[in-house]
Structure 1
Amino acid sequence: MAAVRAAKQALRREIKRRVAALSEDEKQRQSLVVSHKLLRHPKYVSAQRIAVFLSMKDEVCTQEIIKDVFKWGKSCFIPRYESNSSHMDMLRLHSLQDMEALPLTSWNIRQPAEDDNSREEALSEGGVDLILMPGLGFDRSGSRLGRGKGFYDTYLERCIKHPRGKPYTIALAFKEQLCEEIPVDANDVLIDEILYEEDE
């Protein structure tokens, strides 16, 4: 366990360095390539209930995807992370205006306030068809390196217990976030598919 933890920490530093070297223009360009791949993806097209992360500076930008979710009248759910645990809920987002009005967290991402109990949690009713996964690093076999809090692994465990079962998971990545192999332990849940800009 300690060896895996140390390997993950070293890899996190390496990937952060690679992504930090990207210009804003390059991140925007790759984000659009990945977004367009997703919007044509059969799993996205058929999904009605989609969980999307609100991207941070070092992640593929999800703005275009969220716009598209609303354009097609799909249900959009976004994470609310609890800062002092690994608990996360996926709460209903009603519109782009709703998103812009959300409070900013200390991590500089928008999420529903802790006392905002008016929103539907995805698993309380119909479950989720598709979860778009953030992460620091990924390998081609579906292993994911998160930020170390375990939010998504814990949430997927809850999904697996839901009557709908485990949703399809797609990670969105910059090419620079791909690794030969991510060290994993028993709690890490594999991702079904990783979308990134492939070299022609």
Structure 2
Amino acid sequence: MNLPVVHNKQLLRRELRRRRMAVSRAERGRAALAVLRHASRLLGRGKRIGGYLAAGSELDLEPLMSAALFRGAALFLPRIPLRARRLWFSRVGASDRWVQHPRYHITEYAGPECRAEQLDILFIPLLGIDEAGFRIGQGGGFYDATLAFRRLRPAARPLLVGVAYDCQRVACVPREAWDVRLDALVTESGLYRMTAQGWRRWC
């Protein structure tokens, strides 16, 4: 399923969007439940978990986030600042306020905020992920800015878990100096850990 190496980010994003949009509604539902099964070992009482609200053809993380809350984890959703690109994360359940971002017109949860460094696990949406653990996103640069601290402290929390369909895996994505390697990947086929030899199934 891997795409060949594509050096042009625009072309790669276009192809990955096409592949992701080609996933049928039934396959999307099965994938969301499979991701819950595979990643459930990461959920636990007291853990601070960052998730996301799926947009467009992104893999739906709602079953996993619901399970995290049921198990007693604290769930946080991203909020885009009005200026700059470093994301905040709002704790779900601390309020009942949902707001529309004035610039991007997306729905966000308005609760007490923290930075990514204060989370234990962060599930990250993406367009593509390569065999070395590097992702390609939509191009906004929000996660790049948010995770910049990991370039200086590679072992710092949170655990960075990419969320994708198998069709989004590629051989290699074009890399920039600010790119951060992910620690793990969950798809409909399993949970994988990044090792010195590449992705290995998390046993």
TM-score class normalised by the smaller sequence = 0.7 to 0.9
Q: TM-score, normalised by structure 1?
A: 0.79
Contact 1:55 1:109 in 2 (8 A): no
Q: Tell me, what secondary structure is at the counterpart of 1:179?
A: coil
Aligned-partner Cα distance in 2 for 1:149–1:136 = 12
Query: Secondary structure at 2:115's aligned position in 1?
Result: helix
Q: Which residue of 1 aligns with 2:148?
A: 157
Match of 2:19? 18
What TM-score do you get using the length of structure 2 for normalisation? 0.78
Of 169, 184, 197, the match for 1:193: 184
Q: Pick closer, same or farther for the CA change 1:181–1:153 going to 2, 3 Å.
A: same
Residue equivalent to 1:184:
175
- Sequence identity percentage: 27
Q: 1:30 to 1:83 in 2, by over 3 A?
A: farther
In the alignment, does 2:108 pair up with 1:111? yes
**Counterpart for residue 35 of structure 1:** 36
User: How far off its partner does 1:6 sit?
Assistant: 6.6
Number of matched pairs: 183
Query: Following superposition of structure 1 onto structure 2, how do residues 1-200 of structure 1 map, counting pairs within 5 Å?
Result: 7-39=8-40, 41=41, 43-45=42-44, 48-82=47-81, 85-94=84-93, 98=96, 102-105=98-101, 109-112=106-109, 119-123=111-115, 127-158=118-149, 165-198=156-189
Cα 1:107–1:27 change in 2 (3 A) is: farther
Structure 2 unaligned residues grouped into runs of 5+: 1-5, 191-203
Letter in 1 for 2:60: C
- Are 1:31 and 1:60, in contact at CA under 8 Å, matched by a contact in 2? yes
Aligned-CA RMSD value: 2.9
* Unmatched 5+ stretches in structure 1: none
Please identify which structure carries the higher helix content. Answer: 1
